[in-house]
Amino acid sequence: MSSLPIVPIAPPASTVPLPPQDATDRPPRFPSARHARRVLCLLPLLLIGVWAADNWRVLHDGARQLTTADPGWLAIGGAFTLLCWISAAFARQGAIPERLPPGLLLASQFAAGAANNVLPAGLGAHAVTLRFLTGRGIPLARATASLALYSLVKPVAKLLVILVLLATFPTSLGATDLLPDGGTLLPIGVGVAAAVAAVTLLLTLVRPLRRPLLDGLRTALTDARRLHTRPARVLALWGGAAGFSLCQAAVLASVGASLGLPIAWPDVLFAYLAASAAVGAVPAPAGIGPVDAALVFTLAALGAPLSLAAATVVGFRVLTVWLPLLPGALVLSVLVRNKVL
């Protein structure tokens, strides 16, 4: 028998525990999404508080003026204010082919009203609506096209309502002194032409912007053609846009009636529509400032005393802006916390 060499078996390698990783070597931790969401929940309330503190004198004067108003007419004005959000929800639904949940859509428009009072040129309302649409699974391009269609239909519908009022009450409306003359139309035409030229020049020189803008325009045109083949969407879009302007004007007329404003309802409706159409595009939070001045001027031109016209506009702002401000901010915070936005 041949003897085989005996190979010694190596002892098992001892497991040496790894030294703990130094805290300085760990990657930095960013704030969690939960903390960021909490900050977003409190941000609307903070902005509302800053705005209210800055406008405290106006708030005080408006509340004092409303103490002498007729509460019945103020209640009617509050009902028209609620109809404004319902009309806005109808218009938003009409601008998108997909069916949206009605309750959440109405809540988002109520919250959008609060956001719109903080950011100028309707950016707050558009931002809230865009988050809501994308949260419902709608692609970003189509959601943006919906906002563009809504922004286009709204002033056109307001202009159609003005024309209907002028055709229905041709003698009662004091419109001849308020319609723009050639000296007013010339700067407007120059401004529109300059804006079109600037956009054309931008698309020509900045090529990276050309494709996304053209894609967005193509999507908007496709959705607009598709929506206008569905009567329900057409009625919701155009009826909601026109109803929103009429309800806002009806709030002003209700406040004027509560304060004894010596102007007929058709004249007050026309005053609001004309003033908001003339200076509504000026970038200010909720149009506060330019629209208020134009409203006071228009009501005074129609025969109202200046102090009473100013009190009517202040009461209008109380019902449409200041009273819904805190509830709207709370709804916005709840929607953000529940990940609806």
For residue 27, pLDDT over 50 is answered with no
Residue 30 pLDDT class (50, 70, 90 cuts): very low
C-alpha–C-alpha distance, residues 99 and 236, integer Å:
12
List, in order, residues 6 or more apart from 92 with CB less than 8 Å away.
100, 105, 109, 129, 146, 150, 240
pLDDT of residue 290: 72
pLDDT of residue 160: 93
List, in order, residues 6 or more apart from 37 with CB less than 8 Å away.
336, 337, 339
* Residue 285, helix vs strand vs coil: strand
Which run of H or of E encompasses 319? none
Q: What is the pLDDT of residues 297-308, one digit of tens each?
A: 888 888 888 888
The residue that leads in pLDDT, 279 or 43, is 279
Q: What's the whole-number average pLDDT of the chain?
A: 78
Q: Count how many residues are written for the chain.
A: 341
Give pTM, 2 decimals.
0.74
For residue 156, pLDDT over 60 is answered with yes
Mean pLDDT of 150-165: 90
Mean pLDDT of 183-199: 66
To the nearest 10 degrees (0 to 180), the angle between helices 123-135 and 140-168 is 130
For residue 204, pLDDT over 80 is answered with no
Query: Over pLDDT 70: what percentage of the chain?
Result: 67
List, in order, residues 6 or more apart from 62 with CB less than 8 Å away.
314, 315, 317, 318, 322
Mean pLDDT of 15-39: 52
52-66, 77-91, 95-109, 154-168: which has the minimum mean pLDDT?
Answer: 52-66
For residue 185, pLDDT over 70 is answered with no
Q: What is the pLDDT of residues 86-109, one digit of tens each?
A: 999 999 999 998 899 999 999 999
For residue 76, pLDDT over 90 is answered with yes
Map 42-105 to HEC letters.
HHHHHHHHHHHHHCHHHHHHHHHHHCCCCHHHHHHHHHHHHHHHHHHHHHHHHCCCCCCCHHHH
Residue 310 pLDDT class (50, 70, 90 cuts): confident
For residue 24, pLDDT over 50 is answered with no
Residue 4 pLDDT class (50, 70, 90 cuts): low
C-alpha–C-alpha distance, residues 83 and 87, integer Å:
6
The token duo for 102 is: 């009605």
What residue segments make up the domains of the chain, in order of their start?
40-337
For residue 23, pLDDT over 50 is answered with no
Residue 240 pLDDT class (50, 70, 90 cuts): very high
Query: Over pLDDT 90: what percentage of the chain?
Result: 26
C-alpha–C-alpha distance, residues 152 and 226, integer Å:
16
**91, 130, 231 from 226: Cα distances, Å:** 16, 20, 11
